[in-house]
C-alpha cells in the first residue's frame, strides 16, 4: 500500500516465485533435478536477453532423450568423451 491509496500495490506472483536469494551466491538453489527450479519466463534478470519462448522444448517436461543432440567436428588430435549423468555428478564441485 502507498500513503496516497488504500489499494495494495500490484506484485507479480511469478516474479516472487522465481526470486533467488540475494544474500550470496552460496544461498542459491543447487540441484541436478530440473523440477527443483521454476521455469523461467524471461522476466528474470538472468534470462533477460534470452529468447525463452524459443527454448520451450528444452524446458518442456517429458524430454524423452534426457539430453540434447549434438555433433562435433573436431580438429586432429582432439577427442570427445561423453559422460553419464552419474559421472557428471561425481565431477561436479561441491
Cell digits of residue 9:
500495490
Q: Which residues of the chain have pLDDT under 50?
A: none
Spell out the residues 6+ positions from residue 14 whose beta carbon is closer than 8 angstroms to its own: 41, 43
Per-residue model confidence (pLDDT) at position 3? 59
Per-residue model confidence (pLDDT) at position 37? 82
Per-residue model confidence (pLDDT) at position 92? 81
Per-residue model confidence (pLDDT) at position 21? 53
Convert 14-39 to b/e letters by CB count within 10 Å (16 or more is b): eeeebeeeeeeeeeeeeeeeeeeeee
Per-residue model confidence (pLDDT) at position 11? 63
Cell digits of residue 47:
534470462
| pTM tops 0.85, yes or no | no
Per-residue model confidence (pLDDT) at position 74? 92
Amino acid at each position: 500500500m502507498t500513503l496516497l491509496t488504500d489499494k495494495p500495490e500490484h506484485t507479480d506472483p511469478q516474479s516472487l516465485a522465481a526470486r533467488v536469494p540475494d544474500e550470496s551466491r552460496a544461498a542459491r538453489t543447487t540441484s541436478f533435478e530440473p523440477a527443483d527450479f521454476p521455469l523461467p519466463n524471461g522476466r528474470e534478470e538472468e534470462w533477460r536477453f534470452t529468447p525463452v519462448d524459443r527454448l520451450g522444448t528444452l524446458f518442456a517436461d517429458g524430454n524423452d532423450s534426457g539430453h540434447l543432440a549434438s555433433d562435433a567436428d573436431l580438429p586432429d588430435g582432439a577427442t570427445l568423451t561423453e559422460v553419464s549423468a552419474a559421472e557428471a555428478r561425481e565431477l561436479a564441485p561441491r
